[in-house]
Amino acid sequence: MGRSPCCEKAHTNKGAWTKEEDQRLIAYIKAHGEGCWRSLPKAAGLLRCGKSCRLRWMNYLRPDLKRGNFTDDDDELIIKLHALLGNKWSLIAGQLPGRTDNEIKNYWNTHIKRKLLSRGIDPQTHRPVSAGSSAAAASGLTTTASTAAFPSLAPAPPPQQHRLHNPVHAAAPSNASFARSAASPPSEDGHSSSGGSSDAPRCPDLNLDLDLDLSMSLPSSPPKTPAAASSTTASRHHHHQQQKTICLCYHLGVRNGDVCSCKAAAPSPAGPRAFRFLRPLEEGQYI
DNA sequence: AAACTCAACAACCGCCATAAC
DNA sequence: AGTTATGGCGGTTGTTGAGTT
């Protein structure tokens, strides 16, 4: 039995939002906070699907959004995160305060893809696109993802000061399955690789030497208000002031102890729906 | 000036995970 | 324990405006 529609489509507006609709939504959320998106439209006097309201708020109306151009640093950060996470736009957005997953996704598709292609890098695999790349791989070329994606970084020694304190880097060699799950490139057709085994070649020696400060920001305690609980994305962004350094494994949804031995403060999951947890993989199992 | 092309981005759609019943 | 409702995510499409012919 299929899902019922989230709203009565016959009585909802679609398409671009008007200024009046925006004002109604803003006013309502200012007065009542982010709450039940399903009932919000009616309560706010909007002829919109709740889902549409949520999207409009999250991607456009939220006051903490940073509008404007991405910097080169942002570009590089997005590329690095994409190399690590694939098309997990919400996770990537979590590392760029004020940016939304939709914005980053659009930016990726319109700017960064071309930027990488102009560098000769396949934007999905972060490996060289040249015809010889597969041959190079077959011949034992050990180009890491980072050097593939950032040729300019290749000659430089591994950075020390911002060396990942997250254990992905450290744990990967001792747990190849996680290394694959966290760092496996998305399939070539642009879809997420979560659909099981793929015939796309994996990069077994993927050594993401990410020069990132991957300090994650998470609520120090589970959301208590319905509004906070209703939106993990919002809470993620709203709690950037409460910086708490935890490991990337945690942020990726790996429970402490499954594959990560990091002892960093990984509090009880920040709310029941904060993450979609990965199941620890069996040896040799691929995502 | 009109027609066309393309980049940018807002919004929609379908699916998934999970809370709620 | 099973079913349904809801929020959230990623992929895709539609619209718009700028640039080009």
Tell me the pLDDT tens digit for each residue of A111-131. Answer: 888 888 888 888 888 888 765
Residues of chain A with CATH 1.10.10.60: 72-157
pLDDT band of residue A10 (cuts 50, 70, 90) is low
Distance in Å from B16's C1' to A191's CA comes to 15
Rounded Cα distance between A271 and A225, Å, is: 11
The predicted pLDDT at position A127 comes to 82
- Domain A19-61 maps to which CATH number in 2.60.40, 3.40.50, 1.10.1660, 1.10.10? 1.10.10
* Protein residues with Cβ atoms closer than 7 angstroms to any atom of nucleic acid strand B: A 3, 9, 13-17, 49, 51-52, 55-56, 59-60, 102-103, 105-107, 109-111, 114, 272-273, 276-277
Residue A32: CB less than 7 A from any atom in strand C: no
The predicted pLDDT at position A60 comes to 87
pLDDT band of residue A47 (cuts 50, 70, 90) is confident
The predicted pLDDT at position A234 comes to 35
C-alpha distances in Å from residue A283, one per residue of A86, A180, A186? 22, 11, 20
Rounded Cα distance between A103 and A198, Å, is: 28
Taking a C-beta distance cutoff of 8 angstroms, is the pair A217, A243 a contact? yes
CA-derived radius of gyration, chain A: 21
pLDDT digits (tens, 9 = 90+) for A190-230: 333 333 333 333 443 444 444 444 444 433 333 333 333 33
Look at phi and psi of residue A118 and say left if phi exceeds 0, alpha if psi is from -120 to 50, else beta. Answer: alpha
Residue A88: CB less than 7 A from any atom in strand C: yes
Dihedral (CA of A238, A82, A74, A247) sign:
positive
pLDDT value at A23 more than 80? yes
- Closest nucleotide (C1' vs CA) to A39 is C6
Rounded percentage of chain A residues whose pLDDT exceeds 70: 41
pLDDT value at A103 more than 70? yes
- Does domain A72-157 correspond to CATH entry 3.30.1490.20? no
Positions in chain B where some atom is under 7 Å from a protein CB: 7-19
